[in-house]
Chain A
Amino acid sequence: MSPAVMIAQDSPRRMSAGLAIDAVSHAFGPEPVLSGLSVTLPAAQVGCLIGPSGCGKSTLLAMIGGLLRPDQGRVAHPFARPAFVFQDPCLLPWRDARGNIAFGLNALPMSRTECSARADRLLGTVGLTAEDGEKYPRELSGGMRQRVALARALAIEPDLLLLDEPFSALDVGLRRQMQALVRRLIDARGLTTVLVTHDLAEAVRMADRIVVLSPRPAHVAAQHDIGMPRAARDDGFVQAEVGRLLADPATAEALAVEGLS
C-alpha cells in the first residue's frame, strides 16, 4: 500500500470488518468543519451522508478515502482499496473513454493487455458500447461521462466505494438511471459504499444507513437504518420513508437549513 494512505488501520483481531469513524474533529484554518463526529458502518452496507451544503460531507469522505488526516479522532476501516466517484467526472480530456477507465489501473501491477481487457469489460458493465470507448470526454454526454467515471472506480476492483454526489449534476431521468445502475452493481458485488448526497429521496433509495449531518461544524444530527432490501424499494416506499424521516425533528431541522439557503 502506498505511503499516501493515512488511515489508521485496525489490527485484524479487533476489527469489526466495517467502517468506524470515532470522534473526528477537523478545521480548515480557524474554521471548524467537523466536531466530534462518530459513525459506524458494517461491511457490505451502503452508508449515506446527508446534510446541508458545505457541512463537511466531502471532507469526511476524503478522510475515509485516506486523502486527508483528521485533526482529532480516528477513521478506521479494513479496506485497502477505496475508489472515488466525484460530482464532476474528472476525466482526462486527452484520454479516450477506455483510457480513462484504465487510468486507476496504473497504480496496480497489471500488464497492458490485462488493463485494456478489463476496461473493455467495464464499458459493458456500465452500459457503454465499444465505440463509446474510443470517444474522448468532450464527445460524450454528461451521463456517459459519469458512467465512465463509475467504470474507472470499479476497474480497480475496490473494496470501498466512495461516491461524492455523483448524480447531482445529472438531470432527473439520468439520475434515476444511474442510481439504479449503481444500486445493481453495489448489490452484485457486496461493496461497502459511502454516498454523499443532499437529496433525501436518493438516500432512501440507495442506503442501508442514513447519517444526517448538522450544519457546519458538522456532527451527527440523526441516524436511520432502512431494513427493506434495495431492490424492493419502489417509489411509494421511498415517498413514505422520506415522510417518516422528516417527521423526526432532528432530521428535519438539519435538512431544513438547506431548504432555506
Chain B
Amino acid sequence: MIPLRTRLAQALDYVWGGWGAAASLLLLVALWEAGHEAYGTLVLPSPRETFAMLWRMTLDGRVWPAVVETGRNALAGFLGGVLVGGLLGALAGLSDMMRRLLAPVSTLMLGIPAIAWVVLSLLWFGGSGLAVVFTVLVTSAPVVFASAAEGVRSLDGALQRMARAFRVPRRVLVWDVYLPHMLSYLFPAVATALALSWKVAVMTELLSGAGGIGDGLATARVQVDTVKAMAWILVVVALLLAVEYLLLEPLRRHVLGWRRELPGAETRDPQGI
C-alpha cells in the first residue's frame, strides 16, 4: 500500500538517524580510552588493544562458532519461552479459572532471579547446551505470559462487535482485527524476551562452561586476561545492538507504527540483569 519511494525514504531516514547513535557510542569509546590512560591495561585495556584482540580472535576462528553456539541456544530457549508463555497466556486469557491458576505462578517465576535458574539448570542438565536453553526458556516464558493473557482477554470487545455489524468475512476479522490487536500486546513482550534471552544465555554459558560466548568470557577470567574479556564483551554488545537496531526496531516501526510513540516505552529488562 505504501509507495516504494516513501519506504525508501523512511529507510534512509532510519539509517541517517544512526549518526546520533554513532556519535554517542564514539563518545563512550573516548571515555573508555580516558579510563585506560588513567588506570592501565590490567584494569581497562585500551579500545585499540581490545579491537585488535577481537580481530585476532576472529581470524583464529574462535568468535564465529561461539556466536553461533550462543545464538542457537538463546534462540531455541526464546522460541520455546514464547511458545510456552504464549500458549499458557492464551489459555489464561480464555478462561478465568486458568488465569487464577496460572497468574500467581507466572508472577512467582518472574520473581525468581535468572541466576537461581542457572544454578538449578546446571544441577539438572549438567554443563550441556540444554542447561542454557532451559534457563532462557523459563526466564522468557513469564515475560510473554502476561501480555498474551491480556491480549486474548481483551479480544472480545467493541471492535469485534463493530466488525460483526459490518459482516466482514472471518479472514478479515482475524487479519485486520485479531492479529494487530494481539501483536500490539505481544510485540513489546516478545522483544523484551528476545533481548533478555541473549543475556541469560551468556550468563548460563559463563557458569556452565557449555561453550559459546559465555565460555570464552569464563576462560578470559581464569587467565586474568582483561583484553580478551573486553573483546568478548564487545561481541555480546555488538550482537545486542544488531538484534535491537537491525531486527527489533525496524519491526517495531512496521508493526506498531500506528502508535507513533517510538522508540519502545515498554520496560526492557524486568529481570534486572
Contact = CB atoms under 8 A, between A and B. Distances in A.
Interface of A: 2, 4-5, 65, 67, 82-84, 86, 88, 90, 92-96, 103-104, 106-107, 136, 138-139, 152, 156
Contact of B169 (A95, A107, A152): A107
A94 B258 contact: yes
Given A86-B158, A106-B172, A93 B258 contact: yes
B162 A84 contact: yes
Given A88-B158, A92-B176, A92-B177, A83 B166 contact: yes
Contacts of A4: 164, 167
B191 to A, nearest CB: 17
Interface of B: 158-159, 161-169, 172, 176-177, 180, 184, 258-260
B165 to A, nearest CB: 4
Contacts, number: 59
Contacts of A106: 166, 168-169, 172, 176
A107 B159 contact: no
- Is chain B's binding surface mostly helix, strand, loop or mixed? helix
Contacts of B260: 136, 138-139
25 contacts: A4-B164, A4-B167, A5-B167, A65-B165, A67-B164, A82-B165, A83-B166, A84-B162, A84-B166, A86-B158, A86-B161, A88-B158, A90-B162, A92-B159, A92-B177, A93-B258, A94-B258, A95-B176, A103-B168, A106-B168, A107-B168, A136-B260, A138-B260, A152-B166, A156-B166
Contact of B167 (A2, A94, A139): A2
B258 A138 contact: yes
Nearest to A5: B167
A107 B166 contact: yes
Contacts of B180: 92, 94
Contacts of A67: 161, 164-165
A241 B161 CA distance: 36
Contact of B158 (A83, A90, A156): A90
Interface centre among A88, A104, A156 (most CB of B within 10 A): A104
A94 B172 CA distance: 14
Contacts of B167: 2, 4-5, 107
Contacts of A90: 158-159, 161-162
